[in-house]
Structure 1
Amino acid sequence: MRIDLPFGGRQMSIALPDGIPVRLLRPAPVEPHPDPEAAVRKALDHPIGSPLLEEMARPGQRVALIVDDITRPTPVALVLPEVLRRLSRAGVRSTDVTIVIALGSHRPMLPEEIARHLGKAAAGYRVVQSDAYDEAQFENLGFSQLGIPVQIHRTVLESDLRVAIGNIVPHSDAGWGGGAKIVFPGVAGLRSIAALHLRGGEGPPTAFGSDITPVRMDIEALVAEIGLHFIVNTVLTGQGQLYRVVAGHFLAAHRRGVGYAKEVFGIAIPEAMEAALINAYPAELDFWQASKALFAGVRIVRPGGRMLLVAPCPEGFGPHPMFGHYLGLPSATLAALVERGEAEEPIAAGGALLVAKIRDLFSVAIYSPGLTEGQITAMGFEPVRDPQAWLARLGVGELAAITHGGETCPYISGRE
């Protein structure tokens, strides 16, 4: 059996071993929406739990229009024109609208990336990037219910109307992306993001695809206080085409969207597997993103089982170069370092805490042209030069092959 995996802008063909039953896990073959622009208009015409956007907007209001960055597949250029049209129809001047790119702790986007991500409709509008490393951009608002320090971008706080465009896929800490998460940690400062990742790293590596998690609840309680007035969230097919759009209240619309996302990415299997081949796509830009695909394997591989993660990682470790260093520490040492507050890069340490738990529970191998064998070995993983040869030597009785590990949420029937 041969499968083709989306890998760094091309297809990587892998022959799976003969004689081993293979369970192929990929997003459900749902039909993409035949008219994406009409789907956006319909969602905005029928908001969930909220008035129409054009009824909420008023002339003279300052509007913060928050969008995510290129690490997310959100079709911002599809949604943005209709949102801007409705704001204009309500009397909001273009000079009163600021498009805020929610970088979280990711690198700034290049001008050409911004132009491609936002599309032509953004021309003439003020665009700012939320740079977590620039303290001057943020205002301190105390602490969340979990005790996380809250720093939010001043442009967002100073606006009268806050609108967000995002996408819904599984997430390792918050259960699902989208909704309130674009505000916190999307437009939060470094101390906020670091503390949030550290708190997520304290829990088990099983939040991926969960409806409610402690981190999700904390985020939503905080954003309810700050105020996120309207969201537009998309759900895509496994091929990146539009499947559904939801709009309205940041809680009610998001919950509806999670239901749609489960139709695409929630895949049931009857029992746990001995091993899994996991392709990180579409979370494949760097290892910070690609490591999230391991959480899909956690949901279906038996403890002590084997996983092979394949990911191109053209940007190496990504925005957190200490991530690999922390993964190279024994788990107890890393946990103690975090507990004492001595981690030089807390965001990377929090992420490493969670991934290290997977490393300790499973046997994990990695194939990644963007990382050296030495880097992979130093993190406590097995480096792989040839995925096909590794699979041929696997010697297990069954194998799961996950084609879209960065967004697929497999589960054992009866456990959801």
Structure 2
Amino acid sequence: MKIKLDYNNSTIEVNIKQGNVLDVLSPKRVKVSDETEVLRKALSVPHFHFQSAYFRQSAYFRLHKPPLERFLFDAENVLVILNDATKPCPTAKILEFLSGYISGDKFKFLVATGAHRAPTRGDLKLIFGKYFSRFSQALFIHNAKRDEDMVYIGITSRKTEVYINRLAIESDKILIIGSVEPHYFAGYTGGRKAIIPGIASYKTIEANHRFALSPDATSLKLEGNPVDEDIIEGLELFDKEIFSIQVVLSHNRKIYAAESGNIIDSHLLALEKVNEVFAAKAENKADIVVTVAKSPWDINFYQSQQAIENGKRILKDSGILILVSACKRGLGEGHYSEILFSCRTPQEVIHKVNTEPYKLGAHKAKRIAELASRSEFWAATGLPDEKVKKMFIKPYHNIQQAIDDAIAIKGKKATISFLLDGATTVPVV
């Protein structure tokens, strides 16, 4: 049996006996007829159930104009918040659809990097497409570590001090453009995450992400998820009129569904379609799981964690997880690699994270160590072998060889499951 895997924007074919294959999982194949029509419908019926009474009584609702035009009509300083290049949101397509609404000098654009590195010029061209030159003079990149750019707005019940980018504080209104996918500890991407962590300070992000150590911080879960609940509390401190456009992508990255309106409602209403596309029924747990981090999650090992976490969901204890990711820009941000490199065993990593003050990325180190403690963790990447080994991972550069070796260890009757788009496919047993 031949199975095609994406690696570094190309396709690699692996061979395996059909009798060994338990599951080949990927996002559900859904039909997308007209992306423009999907966006048009979403913008014609925005959702504002949770918006303030003042906002519901404002001129926005009295004007007989299209909803987004009503939202923008009296604003003099509008901030448009966009995803960075680590997210698959088709921002350029959405900007094209909105081009009639967002012309003029009252608009600024802020790329919500969270704690990620700044995008390159090439990244920005990818994000903005043909609109890069048009908006480049009004373009700003969020830098979570520039304290002078941040404004304190309050503290959550979990003691997260919330600092937000000054551009958002000084704007009249905010327009958010984003996409919603499963997220391995926040439940889902999109919506509220454009603000926290998107345009929050490093201190705020670190305080919020410490809750990723909780077992309730997991994919497809919002209720009882302390990461999400803390984000929502932080968002409630942010008193701004926000119009949010959230899209759900198909298996081939087309705009399958969209919602607009309040930052909370538009996000929650998108989740049904997210689950339809990205939650995949699995037969059972497997002896071997091959999980593929496709672009943009293959940009570095940090982002590839999404594929690792989804693969873990269907891996038997003492099984072998094989990550396939080019890791084009190395290990990525965060304290996680320093923790892993400083310890001699996975158990030492777990103890270190559990007993020392949390630093951003520690949750990743602990999750990797937990996997390495109960199973074998292998990775076919472009990373140097010595760095991979220091993270308690067996390095490979040939995917077929890794699969063959895994079957040799687990036996001829070993079961193997594939996540062809591991960063977004959430297996449900």
Report the TM-score when normalising by structure 1: 0.90
CA distance in 2, matches of 1:314, 1:74: 19
Instruction: Select which of 279, 290, 303 maps to 1:266.
Output: 279
1:203 aligns with 2:217: no
- 1:13-162 correspondence to structure 2 within 5 Å: 13-17=13-17, 19-32=19-32, 34-49=33-48, 52-87=67-102, 94-121=104-131, 123-124=134-135, 126-162=138-174
User: What is the match of residue 12 of structure 2?
Assistant: 12
- Distance across 2 between alignment mates of 1:60 and 1:181: 24
1:204–1:357 contact (8 Å) kept in structure 2: no
Task: Look up the equivalent residue of 2:156 and give its one-letter code.
Answer: S
Q: Which runs of 5+ in 1 are unaligned?
A: 89-93
Q: Distance in 2 between matches of 1:59 and 1:164?
A: 18
C-alpha distance in 2 between matches for 1:183 and 1:304: 39
The one-letter code of the counterpart of 2:305 is S
CA contact 2:80–2:109 (8 Å) conserved in 1 = yes
Deviation readout 1:326-358 (Å, 9 max, x if unpaired)? 224245544555566567xx2232332233233
8 Å contact from structure 1 (residues 205, 357) kept in 2: no
Q: 1:298 aligns with which of 304, 312, 315?
A: 312
Quick one: distance in 2 between partners of 1:135 and 1:340?
28
Deviation at 1:303, TM superposition (A): 2.8
User: Does the 8 Å contact 1:17/1:392 carry over to 2?
Assistant: no
Q: What secondary structure sits across from 1:72 in the alignment?
A: coil
CA distance in 1 between counterparts of 2:180 and 2:195 reads 14
Q: How does 1:313-352 map to 2 (within 5 A)?
A: 313-320=327-334, 322-328=335-341, 329=343, 330-331=345-346, 333-334=348-349, 337-338=352-353, 346-352=359-365
Q: Deviations over 1:92-115 (max 9, x none)?
A: xx2221111001111212234213
Q: Deviations over 1:142-187 (max 9, x none)?
A: 3223222212100011112112111111112211101100110010
Offset of 1:411 from its aligned partner? 0.5
* Range with greater deviation from structure 2 (379-388 or 289-298): 379-388
Are the structure 2 counterparts of residues 403 and 60 from structure 1 closer, same or farther at C-alpha, using a change threshold of 3 Å? closer
CA distance in 2 between counterparts of 1:43 and 1:66 reads: 18
Asked if structure 1 preserves the Cα contact closer than 8 Å seen for 2:153 and 2:237, the reply is no
Is the partner of 2:92 in helix, strand or coil?
A: helix
1:364-403 matched pairs, under 5 angstroms: 364-369=377-382, 371-393=383-405, 394=407, 395=411, 397-403=414-420
Aligned residues: percent identity? 23
Cα pair 1:276 1:400 within 8 Å, conserved: yes
Offset of residue 302 of structure 1? 2.5
> Which sections of structure 2, spanning at least 5 residues, go unmatched?
50-60, 62-66
SS in 2 for 1:49: coil
Q: CA deviation at 1:140?
A: 2.2
Go from structure 1 to structure 2 and tell me whether the alpha carbon gap of 1:339 and 1:158 turns closer, same or farther (over 3 Å shift).
farther
C-alpha distance in structure 2 between counterparts of 1:57 and 1:20, whole Å: 57
Shift of 1:377: 0.9
What one-letter code is carried by the residue in structure 2 that aligns with 1:210?
K
Q: In the alignment, residue 68 of structure 2 is paired with which amino acid? A: L
Aligned to 1:95, the other structure's residue is in SS state coil
Amino acid in structure 2 at the alignment position of 1:147: K
Distance 1:243 1:172 in 2: 22
Total equivalences in the alignment: 401
SS at match of 1:275: strand
TM-score (norm 2): 0.87
Q: Which moved more, 1:310-319 or 1:54-63?
A: 54-63
SS state at 2:428 partner: strand
Aligned equivalents of 2:353, 2:235: Cα separation in 1: 26
State the distance in 1 between where 2:241 and 2:214 align: 27
The amino acid across from 1:12 in the alignment is I
Deviation sequence 1:250-303 (CA, Å, 0-9, x none): 222111211111111110123322221111113101000012211111222223
Partner of 1:407: 424
SS in 1 for 2:319: strand
Instruction: Show the 5 A alignment for 1:349-360.
Output: 349-360=362-373
Q: What CA distance in whole angstroms lies between the structure 2 residues aligned with 1:7 and 1:46?
A: 40
Of 219, 226, 249, the residue aligned with 1:236 is: 249
Deviates more, 1:63-72 or 1:325-334: 325-334
Structure 1 position 60, deviation (Å): 4.1
Relative distance call for 1:364 and 1:311 in structure 2 (3 A) is same
Compared CA separation, residues 355 and 146, structure 1 to 2 (3 A)? farther
Counterpart code for 1:360: S
Equivalence for 2:54: none
CA distance in 2, matches of 1:83, 1:388: 45
Rate the CA distance shift 1:112–1:305 in 2: closer, same or farther, 3 A. Answer: closer
Structure 1: distance between partners of 2:241 and 2:415: 46
Q: Distance in 1 between matches of 2:147 and 2:83?
A: 20
- The question of whether the paired residues in 1 share the 8 Å contact of 2:23 and 2:416 is answered with yes
The Cα offsets for residues 393-412 of structure 1, whole Å up to 9 and x where unpaired, read as 32253111110001111111
